[in-house]
Structure 1
Amino acid sequence: MKRYILAGLVLAVLTAVITAWSLLGAQAGGAVLLGLALGGALGLVPHGSVAERTAGFVLGVVLAWAGYLARAAALPDSPAGWAVVAFVVLSLCVVAFAVSRGRLPLWSLLLGVVGVVGAYDSTYAADPTAVVSSSVEVTATLLLASAIGLLVGALLTPDPAPEPAPERPAVAAHAAPASGGTPASTPVTLHPLTRDPHPQPEA
């Protein structure tokens, strides 16, 4: 709990410092906030390895960025064009998840897509003709901020709790007889005087 709080506070301070001093660009405030938050989530979520989560996120970013390039080059600037791009990009995320057999988490792929859309969509809408230069700038800022957030999250993530050892089933005192078989053990009654399991009859 405390390490999660510490990671959140560190991310908040870094966001304020980087944005106030324009360390990643004067107009990069939204991309910095989004990148640090998404990178922190990648580092804090204890699912798979950090490398697999990062690879999924980066692939999602690349797919979304390519979707904007394809939309500007070949598709109409309309809801129908955006619907086609969204369908193709999300379908490719699912394909990547299936081909990797889950090693690239689907949630990290989707986070990469969400990061690009959240950071770049308004910039694209303002000037679709400058998609090449503007998308590279925003995507690079997003990836750099995400890397910083990932580093913070990975370093401050709590250690995973050890899994409890599986309980061993209790062994029955006498095994149940198999169907059609004989019991595993048969209790023997001893003679009260001789303690002989097979007393001889008296003459």
Structure 2
Amino acid sequence: MKSLAIRGAVLALFGALTIGLGQLFGLNLDAVALLGVALGGVIGLVQDRSQIERIGGFFVGFVLVWIAYAARAGFVPDTSGSRAVVLVVVILAATGICVATSGRLPFWSMLVGIAALVGSYEETYTIAPPLFIEESPTAATSVLLAVAMGVLATMLFGKEITGRRRAESDDSEIDDSDRNDSHRNDSDRNDSGSDEARHTKGVSA
């Protein structure tokens, strides 16, 4: 529990630093700091594939949804039906890329990338779709900086988490092995008891 408290405190500290950096450099990071740092924490903490592959999947999802916004702004009428079609296309594209890379770019990290841009830009886009070219780079840069801070925070204790997960996995495998051995022993005792019973009946006869 102490280790968990430390990790949470470090992540919270980097969230506050994100807002401070935004103030220092004149960036509006207040609105996306929590979203970005939290999603960056997910990318850094989930021990599935290498960190480079997780980050690569994040950027794939991020770019896919940015292209979707570009299509909505320039080519697709902004209706409920068209938004549904774009959503389906983005998810299927992410699925296809995951399959094509044999899962090396995790599907879940692509979804995190999609969520990052949608969470930071959807409201702004809805207000003024024609300003996509001017406003989307600002939204993308802001949330990417916040995500980077979250990933950086998790890198400070990433090795500890990896070691803990491996230990838990080893313990789980040992427990499974012990249970299997116990089941085999029980089965052997039952078989032995059955043989003795049959032998006793044969002698009595």
Which band: TM-score by shorter chain? 0.7 to 0.9
Number of matched pairs: 171
Gaps of 5+ in 2: 182-205
Deviations 1:111-141 (A, max 9, x none): 1101111110001011111101211111112
Which residue of structure 1 lines up, in the alignment, with residue 88 of structure 2?
A: 87
% identical equivalent positions: 36
Which residue of structure 2 lines up, in the alignment, with residue 161 of structure 1?
A: 166
Does the 8 Å contact 1:4/1:156 carry over to 2? no
Does the 8 Å contact 1:11/1:40 carry over to 2? yes
Larger Rg: 1
Task: Please give the alpha-carbon distance, in whole angstroms, between the structure 2 residues aligned to 1:122 and 1:23.
Answer: 25
Q: Residues 132 and 113 (structure 1 numbering): CA distance in 2 closer, same or farther, change over 3 Å?
A: same
Deviation at 1:24, TM superposition (A): 6.1
**Between structures 1 and 2, the one with greater helix share:** 2
Q: Residues 4 and 153 (structure 1 numbering): CA distance in 2 closer, same or farther, change over 3 Å?
A: farther
Does the 8 Å contact 2:15/2:150 carry over to 1? no
SS in 1 for 2:38: helix
Deviation at 1:25, TM superposition (A): 4.5
Does the 8 Å contact 1:39/1:150 carry over to 2? yes
Deviation at 1:32, TM superposition (A): 2.2
Query: How large is the RMSD of aligned CA atoms in angstroms?
Result: 2.2
Which residue of structure 2 lines up, in the alignment, with residue 10 of structure 1?
A: 10
Does the 8 Å contact 2:18/2:146 carry over to 1? no
Task: Please give the alpha-carbon distance, in whole angstroms, between the structure 1 residues aligned to 2:25 and 2:60.
Answer: 22
Gaps of 5+ in 1: 171-203
Q: Residues 2 and 133 (structure 1 numbering): CA distance in 2 closer, same or farther, change over 3 Å?
A: farther
Deviations 1:25-48 (A, max 9, x none): 443322222111111111111111
Does the 8 Å contact 1:24/1:32 carry over to 2? no
Task: Please give the alpha-carbon distance, in whole angstroms, between the structure 2 residues aligned to 1:126 and 1:85.
Answer: 19
Moved more, 72-81 or 160-169: 160-169
